Every structure is written in structure tokens, then in C-alpha cells.
Copies of this chain bind each other. A is one copy, B any other.
Amino acid sequence: MSVLNVDKFQPGLSVDCVILGFHHNELKILLLKLKDLERWALPGGFVEKEEDVDKAAVRILRERTGLKNIFLQQFHLFGNVDRNEEAYADILLEKGIVDKELYDWLDQRFVTVGYYALVEYSRVEAPTPDYFSESCEWCSLSNLPNLWLDHGRILEKAHETLKRQLNYQPIGLNLLPPRFTMPELQALYETILGKTLDRRNFQRKMMGYGILIRTGERRTGGAHKSPWLYEFDEEKYRQGLADGLNAGW
């Protein structure tokens, strides 16, 4: 018997999860180090025959990393023929990690559905690796290890999607503390965009969205002039998520 009962799964269909973590103004990604290989992979897996693809993504993320209660967003299907060109099944068979049945399963053409989430990573439980992996770690986006197959491309596409979403969706709730300063919010945007923003334009644009409340209190104790503390107007924030932020249209 194989480590995986492949008859349970839809043929040729997989799911991969891009879990981006934000912590101390840094973007990280959760990756699995594959056993006996100098390669890292996105947490991914297969879809059961009687399972919705969106639900499979949640289950796979939990099984492969121990992470629960993560809101996953589908962003793209990767369906090129050459995405499986690396003879990865061969390597696994050779190393004795998979048997012949599982080898044949892995050797077919797969299309994969990409999901992503942005989380405050100190709030998630300790991730744990699965059978195929020897460890599960947060890796720095600016210093990525060698990635498996087209996982680098999948990560890149997820990051592009996230950047684009900054133009029409609010971000920050559950990533920042309940009360935060404008420079802290700006740092979140700058980290995701990978560039510096003009302080005044940022403030004007953010206030224009109507999702921030200035609390009337200031952060004290820093070296600089004490900045105002803000919080999200949660109702308007959720409305912005649903309708888009530039809903002047």
C-alpha cells in the first residue's frame, strides 16, 4: 500500500498555497523542504473526488503545515504543459520516497490551482511538515531557496495579485495591532509593494478611503514627534472589501 491512496483523488489536478507572512515589517513565505532534495515547495496536494477544490485547499494547507483558520483566496490556474517537465517523480522513486504506484500518479500531467493568504505569522500555530517534507519554515522573500517545479512563478503571480489588490481592497486588519500609526500602516504597504511611498500622498489617499478612524490618542515614547493612533472602521473596512475601495464608480 502506498503512502497515498491515489484512487481517492481527481487525476491531474492539484492545489498549491502561497502563504505570505507579515511580521516586523518583513514579508515571508511558508515553504516545505522536500526530503532528501535540495528543493523547497509550496504547501500543496491533491483534490479528493468528492471534494470542492476550495475546500481541498483548506484541508491541504492544514494537513501539510498544521495551519488552520486561514482565509485562502484563489488567484490563478497554472495549466502549461511544461510545468511538470522536471523529472521529479523519477527522483522520488530513485530515493525510495515513493513506490511505483505513487510514481505513476505523480508522473501524469497536473494543472494546479493557486491559492494565497497574507497572515500575521506570529499568530499562526507552529507549522509542521508532512510525509514528503523534512521541515516547514518561513523563508524570506528577498532570499528564497531553490524552488520546485514552477513554484517560483506561482509565488510571483501571487505577489503580483496582492500588489494589484492594494489598489482596490483594504488591507491591514489582523495584520496590524488594533491601534496603529500612519507610518506603521505605510510600512505594510511599502513592504508589499517593495518600494518607498511619499508620506503625505499616502496619508491623503488612505484618509480618502474612509476606512480609518483617528482615535484622538497618540503613540508616545518614540524619539520622534508622537504620531496619532488610528484604528479601522470595521464596518467600512468590510464594505471596502466587498465593493472595492475606489467605489466612486
Q: Which residues of A contact B (CB under 8 A)?
A: 10-13, 47, 49-54, 56, 74, 76-77, 79-81, 109, 111, 113, 163-164, 166-168, 189, 193, 197, 201, 205, 244-249
Instruction: Assess the A197–B249 pair: CB atoms within 8 A.
Output: yes
Are B249 and A189 closer than 8 Å at their CB atoms? yes
Number of copies of this kind of chain in the complex:
2
In Å, the complex CA distance between A236 and B25 comes to 33
Contact B53 A80 (CB under 8 A): yes
Residues of B within 8 A of A53 (CB): 77, 79-80, 111
Q: How far is the CA of A60 from the CA of B137 in the complex (A)?
A: 42
Q: In the complex, are the beta carbons of B193 and A249 less than 8 A apart? A: yes
Q: How far is the CB of A105 from chain B (nearest CB, A)?
A: 13
Given contacts A10-B12, A51-B81, list 12 more A-B pairs with CB under 8 A: A10-B109, A10-B111, A12-B13, A13-B111, A49-B109, A52-B80, A54-B80, A56-B79, A74-B77, A77-B113, A167-B167, A167-B244
Q: Find out whether the CB atom of B52 lies under 8 angstroms from the CB atom of A81.
A: yes
* Main secondary structure on A side of the interface with B: mixed
Cα distance, A11 to B9, chains bound together (Å): 12
The one of B13, B109, B167 that contacts A246, using a Cβ cutoff of 8 Å: B167
Which of A163, A168, A201, A245 has most B Cβ within 10 Å?
Answer: A168
**Interface-centre pick from A53, A77, A109 (highest chain B CB count, 10 A):** A77
Contact call A79/B11, Cβ cutoff below 8 A: no
Q: Name the residue on B nearest A50 (C-beta).
A: B81
